[in-house]
């Protein structure tokens, strides 16, 4: 990992990543205006693509995820896979039958073009990196699918920010999505979510090391806004877990070092993220989530959802306070399917942790 930025750099081992450079003769035009002259996509795959390309599944990662859905930590991969029980021989996404793809998102920091990537002038993009939207991210994934020879996905699956991209695929390119699985996501960002995420951005921008977004992407760790990123992660993590779980695990216990146990827990997660993620990407990606509205330019949410032709499963977590079940109910109603509500004490993170129930829903969808 780069010393100044927590993201992956070309100097690091590639690990299990593959890379695709989009056509350099065609700048990538963005929804909100402007263009990127070049885009590189980092992705991972499992299984073998059928000759007709008809067994491909796309998995969409969440905000601080990446293409490493499953597999151990190791060179190039600071953490183990984030949805490890879903992919593999005999798993819900059976790699003996399916060809599974996961790409790092546009604006990210794990191999796909983002603020820490090198611009044409040889310097990091930094503050010059343009605003990107969920639709832009899906457009990059569509270019990747074209390059891989995948005309239609057997299924597109994702949770949280990944669920937004899965929905964008099914709404914006219905002819290319046979099945849709969205969990712990929404059709449009709420004021509560925007407020939470802009507060996280403010924490990052208030760090003197932020330097307007143009902090060094190499050098010592102190050169990067790791303090601000750590505070942002603390705020976010409180929305990822439920109050019931935190009370049960930590209560008001004070450790020997004088810290509340829950504060120590949050500090641990803050340090982990700062070691593997770029603060600039965090700002860009949370802003993409803030601007998310599947109905923008499509006559509203319900009109947009009416475009979907995919067989769909919509799921939520009953204790999710970041993306509460009412948001998934709106999706389910708009798609004309029942809402599957997973009972979990883990809040929003239940979509990552309750892999047994998630896997059962995935198997059911793939059998349909």
Q: What is the DSSP string of 288-350?
A: HHHT-BTTTTTTSHHHHHTT--SEEEEEEETT-SSS-HHHHHHHHHHHT--EEEE--TTGGGH
Distances (CA, A) of 253 to 106, 241, 346: 41, 18, 20
Q: Is residue 88 part of a domain?
A: yes
Smallest CA-to-CA distance from 16 within 68, 89, 84 is with 68
Task: Classify residue 197: in a domain, yes or no.
Answer: yes
Continuous segment of H or E residues that includes residue 99: strand 99-103
Model pTM score = 0.96
- The pairing of beta strand 99-103 with beta strand 56-60: parallel
Rounded to whole angstroms, how far apart are CA atoms 144 and 156? Answer: 14
Lowest mean pLDDT among 128-132, 158-162, 218-222: 218-222
- pLDDT > 50? residue 220: no
Q: What is the structure's pLDDT at 216? A: 87
Domain count within the chain: 2
Token pair listed for 368: 């349909």
Residue 313 covered by a domain: yes
Residue 234 has pLDDT above 90, yes or no: yes
Q: Supply the pLDDT for residue 329.
A: 98
Same domain, 232 and 274: yes
- Judge whether 86 lies within some domain: yes
User: Are 130 and 245 contained in the same domain?
Assistant: no
Sign of CA dihedral 326, 331, 336, 338: negative
Q: Which of 289, 323, 342 is the last residue of a domain?
A: 289
Do 216 and 358 have their domain in common?
A: no
Please check whether residues 217 and 349 belong to one and the same domain.
no
Look at residue 59 and tell me if it is in a domain: yes
Residue 308, in any domain of the structure: yes
At 280-331, the pLDDT tens digits run 999 999 999 999 999 999 999 999 999 999 999 999 999 999 999 999 999 9
2: pLDDT strictly greater than 60: no
pLDDT digits (tens, 9 = 90+) for 50-86: 999 999 999 999 999 999 999 999 999 999 999 999 9
- Read off the pLDDT of each residue in 253-274 and give the average, rounded to a whole number: 97
Specify whether 165 is located in the same domain as 216. no
Q: Is residue 12 part of a domain?
A: no
pLDDT digits (tens, 9 = 90+) for 170-215: 999 999 999 999 999 999 999 999 999 999 999 999 999 999 999 9
Burial 28-42 (b: 16+ CB within 10 A, else e): bebbeeeebebbbbb
- Angle subtended at Cα 251 by Cα 250 and Cα 255, rounded to the nearest 5 degrees: 60
Predicted local confidence at residue 223, as pLDDT = 81
CATH number, domain containing residue 243: 1.10.1740.110
| Residue 24 pLDDT exceeds 90 | no
**pLDDT recorded at residue 46:** 98
Choose one of 260, 289, 318: the last residue of a domain.
Answer: 289
Same domain? For 299 and 338 the reply is yes
Residue indicated by tokens 């990210």: 108
* Domain range for 35: 18-190+292-367
28-38 per-position pLDDT tens digit: 999 999 999 99
User: Contacts by 266-271 with C-beta closer than 8 Å and gap 24+?
Assistant: 266/233, 266/234, 266/237, 266/238, 267/230, 267/234, 269/233, 269/234, 269/237, 270/229, 270/230, 270/231, 270/233, 270/234, 270/237, 271/230
**Catalytic (active-site) positions:** 160, 320, 348
Tell me, yes or no, whether 138 and 211 share the same domain.
no
Task: Indicate whether 10 belongs to any domain.
Answer: no
351: tokens are 């979509």
């Amino acid at each position: 990992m780069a010393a100044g930025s927590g993201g992956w750099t070309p100097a690091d081992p590639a690990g299990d990543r593959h890379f695709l450079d989009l056509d350099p003769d065609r700048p990538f035009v963005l929804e909100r205006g402007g263009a990127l002259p070049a885009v590189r996509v980092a992705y991972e795959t499992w299984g073998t693509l059928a000759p007709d390309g008809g067994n491909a599944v796309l998995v969409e990662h969440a905000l601080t995820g990446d293409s490493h859905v499953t597999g151990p930590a190791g060179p190039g991969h600071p953490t183990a896979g984030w949805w490890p029980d879903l992919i593999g021989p005999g798993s819900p996404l059976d790699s003996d039958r399916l060809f599974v793809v996961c790409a790092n998102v546009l604006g990210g920091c794990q191999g796909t073009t983002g603020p820490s990537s090198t611009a044409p002038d040889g310097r990091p993009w930094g503050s010059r990196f343009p605003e990107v939207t969920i639709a832009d991210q899906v457009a990059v994934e569509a270019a990747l699918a074209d390059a891989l020879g995948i005309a239609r996905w057997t299924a597109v699956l994702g949770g949280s920010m990944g669920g937004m991209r899965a929905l964008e695929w099914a709404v914006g390119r219905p002819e290319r999505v046979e099945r849709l699985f969205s969990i712990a996501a929404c059709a449009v960002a709420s004021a509560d979510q925007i407020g939470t995420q802009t507060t996280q951005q403010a924490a990052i921008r208030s760090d003197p090391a932020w330097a307007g977004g143009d902090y060094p992407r190499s050098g010592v760790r102190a050169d990067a806004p790791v303090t601000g990123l750590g505070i942002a992660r603390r705020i976010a993590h409180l929305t990822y877990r439920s109050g019931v779980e935190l009370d049960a695990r930590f209560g008001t216990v004070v450790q020997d070092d004088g810290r509340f146990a829950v504060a120590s827990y949050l500090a641990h997660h803050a340090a982990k993220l700062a070691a593997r993620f770029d603060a600039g990407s965090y700002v860009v990606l949370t802003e993409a989530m803030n601007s998310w509205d599947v109905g923008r330019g499509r006559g509203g949410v319900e009109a947009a959802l009416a475009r979907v032709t995919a067989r769909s499963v919509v799921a939520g977590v009953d204790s999710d306070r970041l993306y509460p079940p009412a948001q998934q109910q709106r999706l389910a109603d708009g798609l004309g399917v029942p809402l599957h509500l997973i009972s979990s004490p883990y809040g929003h993170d239940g979509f990552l942790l309750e892999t047994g129930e998630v896997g059962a829903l995935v198997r059911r969808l793939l059998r349909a």
